[in-house]
Amino acid sequence: MLHRYSVWAPEAERVDVHLGADASRIEPMSPDGNGWWALDVEPGDGRYAFSLDGGDPRPDPRGRRLPDGVHAASALVDPARFVWTDGDWKGRSLRGSVIYELHVGTFTEARTFDGAIERLDHLVELGVDVVELMPVASFPGRNGWGYDGVSLFSVHEPYGGPDGLNRFVDAAHARGLAVWLDVVYNHLGPVGNYLPQFGPYFTDRHQTPWGVAVNLDGPGSDEVRAYFTDNVRQWFLDYHLDGLRLDAVHALHDESATHLLEELAKLAEDIGEATGIPRVLVAESDRNDPRTVAPRGVGGAGGQGLDGQWADDVHHMLHVLLTGETQGYYADFADPQALPKTLTHSPFFHDGTFSTFRERRHGRPVEPHVTPGWRFVASLQTHDQIGNRATGERVGQLAGRGRAAIGAALLLTSPYTPMLFMGEEFDASTPWQYFTDHSEEWLAESIREGRQAEFAEHGWSGNVPDPQDPGTVETSTLNWADLDDPGRRELFDWYRTLLRLRKLIGPIRDAELGEGAVAREGDLLLVRRGLLEVLANLGAEPGRLTVPDGSELLVGYGQVGLTGSTVELGPHSVGLLRAPLPEITGELPRITD
């Protein structure tokens, strides 16, 4: 049977396809219009690569599998070959969901999709709704975070390749879990990026932290944009994924009348309507601009229409509250107003206010009637905030398990869509560090030097783990035996209880921006949302709070007791109370000695 090979190479005068694992069979391709080249030919063993104007053979920019690494030939994949069992899957929307971020290469010792499948029942027991996979597009070497991917249509072979991802999604759907994927469209990695050889995928008209920007608005950009829209179609339709997290969209420079993000939002909406399964797009953005998730309007008015966006300011506030760290960009969040503002009124502490870290005003106010709180994904821990520390400490390792439990209560009763990072729910004993597997020593040394300089700016000193050391990825791999420890199991039960209450209690599940209230005196903290109250003691000494008579203690972590109208809180303890409706007034309960 003939197979059609095609590739976009608008500047080439000759394109050949090299067939076979040894690339010994070379066939010339013919122009197919608009810079495309094509050939119908017997595929042989399914391995193939393209050469332009007699140059070295390169992997297919749209190839779905790279069995021998990012420099070798692509392999054909038939997406119809996999037998799916998720025909009854109805999907999950962003609203009401709780997300669990995991890295396939360190979630289990197997470092594969199949290994991760074996732990899906843990996530069901925990009570999350969505599994968000860190990037799985092919990247150099065996181990890495995935943000240096260079073949966006291909699935990292060491994880299990395309079939492994299919098996994972199918297994997750069978357990009622949606699956999102983190995709990186703002840049490609420095090794194995052959896109510039094929066409004008990048432009020096714009710059990013990683160099030249993706060409979204210059000559040839129509096909470049199609490269990304087709990639989205692949993940949604061929791999049955429920959502995508778009990395650092502020680095997608696009001066077109219709920004790529708006185009992707419309595409996801159309696919969702056609399939009957919601397709979710969540952006990571450094702009603090709610227009990213404001609804698309008519005639160019309105926002870009994505479903959600990360709200790092909420993380920063919680991190400073729990750890006391105020270096670097954490400095602004030592402001006493950061806690009440970001916990109840706005996901953006900087919503047009001055940012000392940036040395300028930053952000735009959120209008809750346009962009409700659930459109903002908030976290206590993420891969970024842990892994970009010098030694990858988690919040429990920095602040103690009790304070981590307090952070969980504040996050999981917030108006935002919560996201957990793998192992957070049981205070994993393992850190999560930055690791790479580059064969180029110049690149490895450049990464080492760059991280040392970055950590020095943040005031972190000491021995920084070598990203290239295999021991670094080993150290960062979850130890599931942690769950046998009674203290860690207790924290897991706390997370599980909070997640169950979030689904059952309206003031938690449907919390809205602007409707909560916060009181703090020293280490004692109280947050009210309707009839629900979160009371916490951040300190090492016992504390006492006065609450309305008839209040009910729902759950507590640590030493929490209610007698009459008095709540006793032991060190680093937190409790959830439900107050009686007749006793609720506009005033907060009094914090007593």
- SS3 track for 290-308: HHHCCCECCCCCECCCCCE
Longest dimension (CA), the chain: 85
The least confident of 358-367, 461-470, 482-491 is 461-470
Beta bridge partners of 556: 575
Query: What is the spatial distance between Cα 182 and Cα 520, in angstroms, rounded to a whole number?
Result: 37
The pLDDT of residue 144 = 96
Whether 533 is a known active-site residue: answer no
For the chain, the distance separating the N- and C-terminal CA atoms, rounded to the nearest angstrom, is 82
CA angle (185, 162, 121) in 5-degree steps: 100
The pLDDT of residue 457 = 63
CA distances from 172 to 88, 95, 153, 273 (A): 13, 19, 21, 22
DSSP H helical ranges for 7-112: 104-107
SS3 428: coil
Q: Which of 418, 426, 436 is nearest to 394 (CA)?
A: 426
pLDDT reading at 588 higher than 80: no
Chain centroid offset of residue 88 CA = 27
Beta bridge partners of 536: 525, 574
CA distances from 341 to 153, 239, 287, 333 (A): 41, 40, 18, 11
pLDDT reading at 186 higher than 90: yes
SS3 207: strand
DSSP sequence for 95-155: TT--EEEE-HHHHSTT-SHHHHHTTHHHHHHHT--EEEEPP-EE-SSS---STT-SEEEEE
Query: pLDDT band at 593, cuts 50/70/90?
Result: very low
Query: pLDDT band at 456, cuts 50/70/90?
Result: low
The least confident of 134-143, 170-179, 427-436, 501-510 is 501-510
pLDDT reading at 581 higher than 70: no
Encoded tokens for 333: 């969040």
pLDDT reading at 585 higher than 60: no
Superfamily classification of domain 3-57: Immunoglobulins (2.60.40.10)
The pLDDT of residue 300 = 66
Query: What is the spatial distance between Cα 254 and Cα 267, in angstroms, rounded to a whole number?
Result: 17
Please state the rounded mean pLDDT for residues 329-348: 96
Average of per-residue pLDDT values in the chain: 94
The pLDDT of residue 462 = 64
Which amino acid does the sequence have at 296? R
pLDDT per residue as tens digits for the range 246-291: 999 999 999 999 999 999 999 999 999 999 999 999 999 999 999 9
The pLDDT of residue 128 = 98
The pLDDT of residue 592 = 42
Stated as kind and residue range, the H or E segment containing 211 is strand 211-214
Q: Which of 211, 217, 95, 65 is nearest to 148 (CA)?
A: 211
Whether 242 is a known active-site residue: answer no
Determine which one of 148, 157, 170, 247 is catalytic.
247
The pLDDT of residue 441 = 85
In the numeric block, the tokens 């999560």 are attached to 432
The pLDDT of residue 297 = 84
The pLDDT of residue 46 = 97
The pLDDT of residue 591 = 46
- 110: how many CB neighbours lie within 10 A of its CB? 17
SS3 439: coil
Query: pLDDT band at 206, cuts 50/70/90?
Result: very high
The pLDDT of residue 584 = 41
Stated as kind and residue range, the H or E segment containing 518 is strand 517-521
Stated as kind and residue range, the H or E segment containing 455 is helix 441-457
Q: What fold characterizes domain 516-592?
A: Immunoglobulin-like (2.60.40)
Determine which one of 170, 242, 284, 425 is catalytic.
284
Encoded tokens for 393: 């400490």
The pLDDT of residue 458 = 62
CA distances from 230 to 4, 153, 233, 417, 420 (A): 17, 9, 5, 28, 30
* Pairing verdict, β 99-102 and 178-183: unpaired
310-324: b (≥16 Cβ within 10 Å) or e: bbbbbbbbbbbbbbe
- 496: how many CB neighbours lie within 10 A of its CB? 15
Contacts by 108-113 with C-beta closer than 8 Å and gap 24+? 108/477, 108/478, 108/480, 109/477, 111/143, 111/158, 111/159, 111/477, 112/158, 112/159, 112/160, 112/164, 113/159, 113/160, 113/164, 113/165, 113/167, 113/168
436-472: b (≥16 Cβ within 10 Å) or e: bbbeeeebbeebbeebeeebeeeebeeebbbbbeeeb
The pLDDT of residue 587 = 53
pLDDT per residue as tens digits for the range 33-89: 999 999 999 999 999 999 999 999 999 999 999 999 999 999 999 999 999 999 999
Please state the rounded mean pLDDT for residues 339-357: 96
Domain ranges of the chain: 3-57, 100-315+377-502, 516-592
Q: Which of 107, 192, 115 is nearest to 149 (CA)?
A: 192
Query: pLDDT band at 449, cuts 50/70/90?
Result: confident
Q: What fold characterizes domain 100-315+377-502?
A: TIM Barrel (3.20.20)
Q: Do domains 3-57 and 100-315+377-502 have the same CATH topology?
A: no
Q: Which of 289, 230, 237, 236 is nearest to 263 (CA)?
A: 230
CA angle (309, 411, 236) in 5-degree steps: 35
SS (H, E, C) 263-279: HHHHHHHHHHHHHCCCC
Please state the rounded mean pLDDT for residues 309-320: 98
CA distances from 313 to 182, 266, 408, 534, 570 (A): 20, 28, 16, 21, 29
Q: Phi and psi for 15 in degrees, rounded to 5?
A: -135, 130
